[in-house]
Amino acid sequence: MKNITCECGHVNPEGTVLCEACGKPIEGNQHINGNQPNKLLNMRYDGSARRSQTYNKTFVDKIWNFFSSVKVGVWLIALTLIASAIGTIFPQEANNQSPLPANQYYEQNYGIAGKIYYQLGFHDLYGSWWYMLLVASIGISLVIASLDRFVPLYRALKKQKPKRHETFLTKQRLFGQADQATEEDKEALVQGLKKQRYKVYEQDGHILAEKGRFARWGPYVNHIGLIIFLIGTLLRFVPAMYIDESMWVREGETKQIPGTDRQYYIKNEDFFVETYDKDDPRYQEAIEEQGGTVVKNYQTNAVLYERTDEALPGSEPELKKIKEGAIQVNRPIKVDQFALYQTTYQLDEFKTMTFKIHEKSDEDEKELDTFTVDLVDPKPEYNLENGIRITVDNYFPEFEMQNGEPTSVSKYPKNPAFVFNIFTPDNPDKPEVSFVGIGANLDPSGENQYKVGLKDFETRDVTGLTITKDLTLPILGLGGLIFMIGVIQGMYWNHRRIWIHPREEGVWIAGHTNKNWFGIKRDLEKIVEGTNVPMVTDQNELKE
Amino acid sequence: MELSTISSNLLYGAFILYLIATFFFGGTIRTKGKEKASTRTGNIAITITIIGFLSQVGYFITRWIASHHAPVSNLFEFTTFFGMMLVLAFIVIYFIYRLNLLGLFTLPVALLVIAYASMFPREISPLIPALKTHWLYIHVTTAALGEAILAVSFAAGLIYLIKSVDQSKLNKKTFWLEFIIYALYATIGFIVITSVFRGIGYDSTFQIPSEMENAEPTKVEFTLPAITGPHNGELITNGAMQPIFNVPEWMSGDKAASKLNTFIWSLLTGLVLYGLTLLILRKRVAAAIQPYLTKVNPDLVDEVSYRAVAIGFPVFTLGALIFAMIWAQQAWNRFWGWDPKEVWALVTWLFYAVFLHLRLSQGWQGERSAWLAVIGFAIIMFNLIAVNLVIAGLHSYA
Ligand code: HEM
Atom of ligand 1 nearest to the CA of A218: 12
Q: Report the alpha-carbon distance of residue B392 to residue B386 in Å, rounded.
A: 9
Verify that A168 and A188 share a domain, yes or no.
yes
pLDDT over threshold 50, residue A544 = no
By the 10 Å C-beta count (0-12 exposed, 13-18 middle, 19+ buried), B127 is classed as buried
Least confident of A116-125, A166-175, A519-528, B375-384: A116-125
**Residue nearest to ligand 1 atom 31, measured at CA:** A142
The reported pTM is: 0.85
**Has residue A217 been placed in a domain?**
no
The pLDDT of B86-92, averaged and rounded, is 95
Residue A444 predicted with pLDDT over 90: no
| A527 in a structural domain | yes
Q: Is residue B317 pLDDT above 90, yes or no?
A: yes
Least confident of A416-420, B224-228, B377-381: B224-228
Whether A94 and A193 share a structural domain: no
Residues of B in contact with A294 (CB under 8 A): 125-126, 128
* pLDDT tens per residue, range B92-123: 999 998 888 899 999 999 999 999 888 887 77
Q: For B335, how many CA atoms within 13 A lie in the half-sphere containing its CB?
A: 20
SS3 labels along B18-86: HHHHHHHHHHCCCCCCCHHHHHHHHHHHHHHHHHHHHHHHHHHHHHHHHHCCCCCCCHHHHHHHHHHHH
How far, in Å, CA of B293 to CA of B164, rounded? 9
Note whether residue A226 is domain-resident. Answer: no
Confidence at residue A413, expressed as pLDDT on a 0 to 100 scale: 85
Q: For A104-146, what is each residue's pLDDT tens digit?
A: 778 777 778 888 888 888 888 888 888 889 999 999 999 999 9
pLDDT score of B388 more than 70: no
- Same domain membership, residue A132 and residue A56: yes
Residue A488 lies in a domain: no
Mean pLDDT of B279-298: 85
Q: How far is the CA of B368 from the centre of ligand 1 (A)?
A: 19
User: For residues A291 and B126, what is the distance between their CA atoms, to the nearest angstrom?
Assistant: 13
Q: How confident is the model at residue A1 (pLDDT cuts 50, 70, 90)?
A: low
Radius of gyration of chain A (CA): 39
Same-domain pairing of A429 and A476: no
Task: Name the domain boundary from A111, A138, A157.
Answer: A157
Q: What is the pLDDT of residue B322?
A: 95
- Clarify whether residues A387 and A512 are in a common domain: no
Residues of B whose CB is below 8 A from A287: 125-126
Q: Would strands A507-513 and A496-502 be described as parallel, antiparallel, or unpaired?
A: antiparallel
Does residue B172 surpass a pLDDT of 90?
Answer: no
Cα B141 from chain centre: 15
Whole-number pLDDT of residue A412: 81
Mutate which of A143, A146, A223 to test ligand 1's pocket (most atoms within 8 Å of Cβ)?
Answer: A223
> Of the given ranges (A58-67, A138-147, B379-388), which has the lowest mean pLDDT?
B379-388
Sign of torsion over alpha carbons B114, B120, B124, B130 = negative
pLDDT in tens, A307-340: 887 766 667 778 888 888 888 887 888 888 888 8
Whether the CB-CB separation of B29 and B105 falls below 8 Å is answered with no
What's the rounded Cα separation, in Å, for the pair B6 and A190? Answer: 57
pLDDT of residue A216: 93
Q: Which helix (H) or strand (E) holds A104?
A: helix A102-119
Query: Residue A521 sits in a domain of what CATH number?
Result: 3.30.310
Cβ contacts of B346 on chain A, cutoff 8 Å? 84
Contacts of A340 in chain B (CB under 8 A): none
ipTM exceeding cut-off 0.85 for this assembly: yes
Shared-domain flag, residues A363 and A452: yes
pLDDT of residue A28: 81
Query: What pLDDT sits at residue B156?
Result: 94
Residue of A nearest to B300 (CA): A518
Task: Report residues whose beta carbon is within 6 angstroms of any ligand 1 atom.
Answer: A 70, 73, 76-77, 138, 141-142, 145, 149, 219, 222-223, 226, 487, 490; B 350, 353, 356-357, 360-361
For ligand 1, the distance from its centroid to the CA atom of residue A220, given in whole angstroms, is: 8
| Distance from the Cα of residue B362 to its chain's centroid | 30
Lowest mean pLDDT among A285-294, B323-332, B389-398: B389-398
**Mean pLDDT comparison of A330-334, A440-444, B2-6, B371-375, highest-scoring range:** B371-375
How confident is residue B274, by pLDDT bands cut at 50, 70 and 90? very high
CB contact under 8 A, B121 and A476: no
Does A486 fall in a domain? no
Domain span at A515? 162-212+494-543
The mean pLDDT value of chain A amounts to 85
Residues A166 and A153 in one domain: no
pLDDT at A389: 87
Q: Does position A517 have pLDDT exceeding 60, yes or no? A: yes
Same domain, A138 and A187: no
Domain boundaries, chain B: 3-167+284-389, 175-282
pLDDT higher than threshold 90 for residue A288? no
Same domain? For A248 and A338 the reply is: yes
* A220: in domain: no
The pLDDT of B67-87, averaged and rounded, is 89
Please compute the mean of the pLDDT values over residues B256-276 and round it to a whole number.
87
Q: Are residues A472 and A453 in the same domain?
A: no
Question: Do A329 and A424 reside in the same domain of the chain?
Answer: no
Contacts 24+ apart (CB under 8 A), A330-337: A330/B129, A330/B130, A330/B132, A330/B133, A330/B330, A330/B331, A332/B330, A332/B333, A333/A302, A333/A304, A335/A264, A335/A304, A336/A260, A336/A264, A337/A469, A337/A471
Predicted local confidence at residue B296, as pLDDT: 84
Report chain B residues whose CB lies below 8 A from the CB of A81.
Answer: 347, 350-351, 354
pLDDT digit string, tens, across residues A208-264: 999 999 999 999 999 999 999 999 988 888 877 888 888 888 888 888 888 887 888
**Does residue A246 belong to any structural domain of this protein?**
yes
Ligand 1 centre from B349 Cα, in Å?
12
Q: How far apart are CA B117 and CA B108, in angstroms?
A: 14
Residues B178-189 pLDDT 10s: 999 999 898 888
Residue A223 lies in a domain: no
Q: Take atom 13 of ligand 1 and give the residue whose Cα is closest.
A: B356
What average pLDDT does the segment B62-66 reach? 90
Which of A244, A280, A488 comes nearest B314 by C-beta?
A: A488
* 3-state DSSP helix/strand/coil % of chain A, to nearest 5: 35, 35, 35
| 3 state SS for A394-455 | EEECEEEEECCEEEECCCCCCECEEEEEEEECCEEEEEEEEEEECCEEECCCCCCCEEEEEE
Measured by CA distance, the residue closest to atom 14 of ligand 1 is B356
Do A268 and A319 lie in a common domain? yes
Cβ atoms < 10 Å from Cβ of B212: 7
Number of domains in chain A: 5
Find which of A113-122, B37-46, B50-59 is predicted with most confidence, using mean pLDDT.
B50-59
**How does residue B254 score in pLDDT terms, banded at 50, 70 and 90?**
low
Say which of A87, A287, A289 has its CB closest to residue B343. A87
The helix-helix angle for B134-164 and B324-332 (nearest 10°) equals 140
Rounded CA gap, A289 and A307, in Å?
49
pLDDT tens per residue across span A367-398: 888 889 988 888 888 888 878 888 888 899 88
CB contact at 8 A, B345 and B143? yes
Give A151 to chain B, closest Cα distance, Å.
17
